[in-house]
Amino acid sequence: MSTKDTGKTHHTTATGVAVETVKAHAGPADITLFGGCFCPFVQRVWIALEYLKIPYQVNEVDPYKKPADLLEVSPKGLVPALKLNNYNPPRALNESTVILDYLEELSLQKYVEADRHLLPELSDIYARAQARLQAHHINNSLIPAFYRYLQAQEPEKQIQHGKEFQDAIEKLVGMFEDCEKKGLRGGLWSTRSEKSGELGWADVMAAPWLFRATNVLAHYRGFVLPPSTKFKAYLDRLLSHPDVKSTCSTLELYLDSYERYAVNRPNTSQVADAINAGRALP
């Protein structure tokens, strides 16, 4: 499927429901989240902050302009980044998976009363390891496959990488099902969490790209998600979860922001450059 380059570029401010979430977190807080509204790596951190009920402030930045306050907390100018204001002087964190680890630890230490955690109980070290294996698959297989598929220009490459992305989803489903058979906590996939709305580690890790598969990939590549009734039910629960929905902007924002990937426009991003060069994601 070919896409015409109309020159659309990334948005710099959230739209739709996400605007209300930005407004709700406009005041000072111990944690400042530096993020771009279009970025899925930012969204996974944003979902976690909402779900774990950790107080934070949003600072929407344009990572392509690399403002000074972003560079102070993220030397490469990449988002997401956190500024930890309760230290003197303030400290910083970047890299989404590292930030998620930090937020989970912080919730265990400081926000126990919220009784919300992404990883299984500390006592169940095997279940925690399985959740991290799922996250490893998401970061190393599913996400790169998403970008290879979106950036591919030749029809045969689109078919190849579309299958690769589909296979990555199906492997993740297999990992979920294996944990379910073993009676391990599995986030929204598990029957136990279906009614409680318990987000899991892999849910947060994968949600932004599964969401974009339903709009960006569907629009630019004609992608159709796996037909499994159980997977569709899981995806419906995931994307309708209040803490996922509250970080989502309108369709226009994503279609505009991802046109540059779909036409593989030069200098699109460090992620796009890494995919084109066959390197690991930055």
Give the DSSP letter of residue 126.
Answer: H
Range scoring the smallest mean pLDDT among 77-81, 193-197, 234-238: 193-197
- The answer to whether residue 2 scores a pLDDT higher than 80 is no
* Alpha-carbon distances of 199 from 207, 236, 244, 247, rounded to whole Å: 10, 13, 10, 15
Instruction: Give yes or no for a contact between 279 and 33, defined as CB atoms under 8 angstroms apart.
Output: no
All domains in the chain, ordered by first residue: 17-114 (3.40.30.10), 125-277 (1.20.1050.10)
Name the token pair of 57: 């402030």
Q: pLDDT tens across 210-253, in order? A: 999 999 999 999 999 888 899 999 999 999 999 999 999 999 99
The reported pLDDT for the residue numbered 218 is 97
* Alpha-carbon distances of 92 from 28, 45, 51, rounded to whole Å: 16, 15, 21
* Alpha-carbon distances of 120 from 47, 94, 96, 163, 225, rounded to whole Å: 17, 24, 20, 31, 28
The reported pLDDT for the residue numbered 115 is 78
Q: Which of 111-115, 130-134, 230-234 has the highest mean pLDDT?
A: 130-134
- DSSP class per residue in 57-78: EEEE--TTT--HHHHHH-TT--
Q: CB under 8 Å to 164, separation ≥6 — which residues?
A: 145, 148, 149
Write phi, then psi, for 264 (nearest 5 degrees): 55, 50
- The answer to whether residue 177 scores a pLDDT higher than 70 is yes
Overall pTM > 0.85 = yes
The reported pLDDT for the residue numbered 193 is 59
Give the DSSP letter of residue 228.
Answer: -
Mean pLDDT of all residues in 53-60: 96
